[in-house]
Amino acid sequence: MSALAPPYGASQLLPRISTPERMAQLQREAAALPSVVLHSAAAANAVMLAAGYFTPLAGYMDRADALSVATAMHTSEALFWPVPILNRFLEKPAVAPGECLALHDPNLPGQPLLAVQRVSAVELLSADDISRMASGIFGTDDPSHPGVSTFLEQGNWLVSGSVEVLHHSYFESDFPQTFRTAMAIRSEMEQRGWGRVVAFQTRNPMHRAHEELCKMAQSAVSADGILIHMLLGKLKPGDIPAAVRDTAIRKMVELYFPPNTVLVSGYGFDMLYAGPREALLHAIFRQNCGCSHLVVGRDHAGVGDYYGAFDAQAIFEQVPPGALALEPFCADHTAWSKRLGRVVMMRDVPDHQPEDFVLLSGTKVREMLAGGEALPEEFARPEVAKILMEYYQ
């Protein structure tokens, strides 16, 4: 049995979560510190740092690192990293380098203390800095892109430095069966005796095409198991809530996958919709979970028409040799084959004609559900369709 993939950029996971003893001490110290309420994006970064997903990072990046990562995909110390991890504010916090700052959670009632940051720098980003970062991360600075819109609203004051995080925000309480740290996922996979694991990223319910992609990827790379890993944080309007997705995915796994082949889990992060760059970030934190492969499908982490169908696969060619232990499993367009009566990757059936396919589209599924139409078996398992239909109705 092969071992799980090693942590990214470190010999072990480096979660920034405090111990219970340290937590009590931080609570006492924070009472005397200047305090700020985080933007949701910065709070999600803190949760990912706490949960080990962002190993080997110790905290939020400064301007030099942020610009280097946004434009060249590495920190100033040459660590490959695809998306800046930032803590930004509309107004300058009353803190100086070397001091500590109490960071409060915007997403919990009463905005409790989430983390304490040891500040290394407080810097004012120029409009040009913000534009360069947005263009690097998202491939555009168009404010109608939902990721760019969220990025632009976070402010020009950048506060960098390491963090000690007290808890995992609302993710543990709202998703007790699903939210897991990278450490917990790694431990569970070791207990199951898995070595090669293929990860499947999702912010949507899983339809027939997604189910079959997981099975195809597992077979193709001879994986012991599949990590179905769903985003539990903030989404754009119109996306299906995490609780509904969770229920639908668990029903699909229960009925249509062999026992002990799938681990259903979730992580506490807000969706970026950054397409190719986000695919690389997904790869890093799946490697930290121990996964050997990540399914990278059509328009992975994309939105609208901002990215080409397979840009998120092509960007893996820009990863420096040896930087990632995880490999992408590059998936083609999937469709239902009328001739074969099953979902296929279109590249695998060169004898098919266009009329032999029923194309599977998440957008089409959402339109049918909103219109009260029953989903055909080519789109969704009936038990999954029932859960989604109840939500929409």
Catalytic residue numbers, as ranges: 203-204
What residues pair up with 359 in beta bridges, in sequence order? 335
Q: Is the dihedral of CA 239, 243, 244, 249 positive or negative?
A: positive
Phi first, then psi, for residue 223 (nearest 5°) are: -80, 150
Kindly state the DSSP code that residue 348 receives in the 8-state scheme: G
Please tell me the distance from the alpha carbon of residue 328 to that of residue 310, in angstroms, as a whole number. 12
DSSP 118-164: EEEEEEEPPHHHHHHHHHHHHS---TTSHHHHHHHTT-SEEEEEEEE
For residues 289 and 90, the answer to whether their CB atoms sit within 8 Å is: no
For residues 331 and 299, the answer to whether their CB atoms sit within 8 Å is: no
Q: Which of 331, 332, 210, 229 is nearest to 284 (CA)?
A: 229
Please tell me the distance from the alpha carbon of residue 6 to that of residue 190, in angstroms, as a whole number. 12
Tokens of 325: 């232990």
Please tell me the distance from the alpha carbon of residue 326 to that of residue 54, in angstroms, as a whole number. 15
For residues 380 and 206, the answer to whether their CB atoms sit within 8 Å is: no
Please tell me the distance from the alpha carbon of residue 240 to that of residue 26, in angstroms, as a whole number. 37
